[in-house]
Amino acid sequence: MTHLNFVTLDVFTSTPYSGNPLAVVFLEDTALTQSQKQTIAREFNFSETIFVHPVNDKTKRTIDIFTTKHEIPFAGHPTIGAATWFLHHSTNPADSSNVTTLTTKSGDIPIRANSSDKTVAAKIAHNTRIHAARFSLSELLRLHPSLAPFVREDATFPVFSVVNGMSQVFVELPSLEALGAVALASGGELVSDQYLDEGWRNGLICLYFFVRGWRIVS
């Protein structure tokens, strides 16, 4: 049986048991299969789990990012969580001065530490694209019938990729009331890759709901 070390982190917070949880699994020289990684990510049941590859270059760390259902090329809180681990909390003290780059499926991401407040900064890799096809109203209402009173009959929605393999349908809604009507997708949020251009039909596609011009003041 293979034994792997792991830690769990709370990202975007300084308060334990708050923020965004992240599992960090450290791979050994014996590689795990894709299926094994997916099983481990599903067992943690966090929004994301990362797998850190064995060290080949003291300045770089290669990570794989998994949701409970898929591997994805990039996500924000796993990237910041990984950077925080290596630059501030690693069990290898040399990492804090040596590690300058995270290698992900979306590309290399330079990272640096802010020693004054124990935070980190990352220069995020991106390869943006607005796809030719637009997401149809019928598909939106199939997934989210509660939005029927709020959207125009001729509405369609742009499909955007921040990197190849991570795409979002931008659904602009007319009011906060409409945004509040968004519920879990009927039967699960399955979006066809037919809305993506040739050569981009892989990875995660999700819906991003927003209302233009509003901000919340606490």
What are the catalytic residues? 48
Asked if 1 and 15 touch (Cβ cutoff 8 Å), the reply is: no
Report the sign of the C-alpha dihedral through residues 215, 125, 129, 51, in that order: negative
In DSSP terms, which residues pair with 120 in a beta bridge? 113
Contacts of 26 (CB under 8 A, 6+ apart): 4, 5, 6, 52
Read off the tokens for 162. 């921040």
Q: CA–CA separation, 99 vs 113, rounded Å? A: 10
- Please give the C-alpha separations between residue 218 and each of 99, 123, 179, 215, in angstroms, as whole numbers: 37, 29, 19, 10
